[in-house]
Each structure stands twice: as C-alpha cells, then as structure tokens.
Amino acid sequence: MWALGDYHRFALATVWQLGPVLVEACHITPGQRVLDVAAGTGNVAIRAAKAGARVVACDLTPSHFEAGRHAAATEGVEIEWREADAEALPFADGDFDVVTSCFGAMFAPDHQAVARELVRVCRPAGVIGLLSFTADGISGEFFKLLGEYAPPPPAGALPPVLWGQEAHVRELLGDHLASIEMTRRTYVETAASAHEYCDLFRKAFGPLVAIRGALAGDPERLAALDRGFETFVARSNRAASPDRVEIPYDYLQVIGRKPARTS
C-alpha cells in the first residue's frame, strides 16, 4: 500500500515540516545513535543527521529509500537505510540513544509488538519520541472516511489512531518508561487550491491510491469516495481565501524516557 503513489512527493507537501519538531522535542544532539522507525523517505532521519546524530532509518517499504538517499545527499548528510518491520526490529537490545517515529509505526497492526520493540532497542535512560494522529477532530474524520471504503484490516489489527489517545499510549508504554510527556499539537497542510490538494492525495498518498484501485470495478462507490473526500476538504478548510487550502490536523506528541539501568 505505502509503495503506491509517490510518498516522497506527498510527504514534502504535508508532514515534512514535522521532522524538525520531533528532533527538537527529543533533544537530539551530535554523536547520539538514533533509530527512526517507519522512516518513509527520511523526514525525521535527515533532520536528526543534520543535528549531528548517527542515524539509522528503517521502513517496511524499501522503495522509499531511493528518494530518501537523494534527499539526504541534497542535505549533505549520510544515513543508514534498513528494511525492517516495526513489530520485529532487526537491532540489538539497547542499541540506540533515541528511537523516533513520525506518523509511521502507528500504522503497524500489532500495537503491543511495536511498543515492545521501541522500548527494547532503546538504551537505558534513552528517549522514545512519537508523533501520531488523533482519533478525533479533522484527523479522525479523515481516517474514518478512508475506513468506510478500505478493505477490512487484518484480523486483530488495532486502529492506527489509537496511538493518538493518551490512555492507550500509557497502557502500551507507561510501565516501561521512567517518564512520559504527552502533548496534543496541531500542524497545517496547505495547497494553492482544493483541486491541487485532492489531486495530491489521489495520485501520491499510497493508502488512497490503493483504496481507489480496489474500487475500480465499482464506479459508484469510487465516485462516492471522491465526493466524500472533496466534501471533507471543503468542510475542513480554514483558509481565509476560498482560493487556498489550509487544513489543521491534530496529533499527539509523546516523549518518553527509559529508566536508567539499576545495579
């Protein structure tokens, strides 16, 4: 699903602005070893490398790596790219000073497995930093719309937006961290027009490309999805000018620190 469309084009137009936010929130500094999980094309990883960290970017979709390597080279940084499943990371216990994921690991179906792996590969006293969409507000409306037309998820899969609920995050991570700070925040996606914004999603956002492809044999439902998305964009737009799109999406920022190893 995530290999469809053009993820790098999509990320640059939407969530790319949040890489520096997570790097700053995690206080990433030169010399630290950082793992970015479900890294996409390097939104966080590139910014961590620019901060002087030694960075590994891992993702289940290695087709993202070519664009990521090009983006990293353009910024003058080097990153190690590894194919990896967030539910079973191929790294040693305590291998990283900081472990991050920006709207990435939340999409893995087994939340407990992801939480276990994030904690496992983070060193004692290390930091885990996550950004996840919320289940309510405009973010929740968007994922609810997609869910109405998407194929059923795998058996046992939990909704990704649960990672945007504080109680769920505390249940997953609270017992494994010495401290955890959660802050609800908002970022704004923009476009020159509603047509441009809708076109970006239809052509570049892998999940929507996949859903629309699955509906190719059902033109009525495909048309209904397209109308629903256009209505969502019009209803969510907060721009003062009707010729511009500004849509605010809520997300939960989680910054946790593992306990130091005790003697």
Amino acid at 5: G
State whether the Cα torsion 228-215-151-8 is positive or negative: negative
Token code pair at residue 145: 């719309």
| Rounded CA separation 140/134 (Å) | 6
Q: How many residues does the chain have?
A: 263
Nearest to 52 by CA among 76, 69, 71, 36: 76
**Residues in the chain where the model's pLDDT stays below 50:** 263
Q: Give the C-alpha separation, 80 to 54, whole Å.
A: 9
CB of 133 closer than 8 Å to CB of 250: yes
DSSP code per residue over 60-125: S-GGGHHHHHHHHHHTT---EEEE-BTTB--S-TT-EEEEEEESSGGGSS-HHHHHHHHHHTEEEE
Q: Are 114 and 86 in contact (CB under 8 A)?
A: yes
User: Cα(49)–Cα(259) distance, rounded to whole angstroms?
Assistant: 25
**Both tokens assigned to 220:** 């009525």
Question: Are residues 118 and 132 in contact, defined by beta-carbon separation less than 8 angstroms?
Answer: no
State the pTM of this model.
Answer: 0.95
Percent of the chain whose predicted confidence (pLDDT) is above 90: 94
> According to the model, what pLDDT value does residue 262 have?
53
| Strand 96-102 relative to strand 54-59, pairing | unpaired
Question: Which residues, including other chains, have CB under 8 Å from residue 167's CB and lie 6 or more apart?
Answer: none
Q: Residue 130: enclosing H or E segment and its boundaries? A: strand 122-133
Pairing of strands 80-83, 179-191: unpaired
Query: Over the stretch 212-245, which tens digit does the pLDDT of each residue have?
Result: 999 999 999 999 999 999 999 999 999 998 889 9
How many C-beta atoms surround the C-beta of residue 230 within 10 A? 14
Q: Can you give the residue ranges of every domain in the chain?
A: 7-257
Burial group, residue 76, by CB count within 10 angstroms (0-12, 13-18, 19+): exposed
Hey, what are 230's tokens?
Answer: 């256009």
CATH topology of domain 7-257: Rossmann fold (3.40.50)
Phi/psi for 73 (5° steps) reads -65, -40
**What pLDDT was estimated at residue 263?**
43
Question: Per the structure block, which two tokens stand in for 192?
Answer: 């020159």
- The vertex-221 CA angle with 218 and 224, nearest 5°, equals 150
Q: Give the integer Cα–Cα distance in Å for 42 and 59.
A: 10
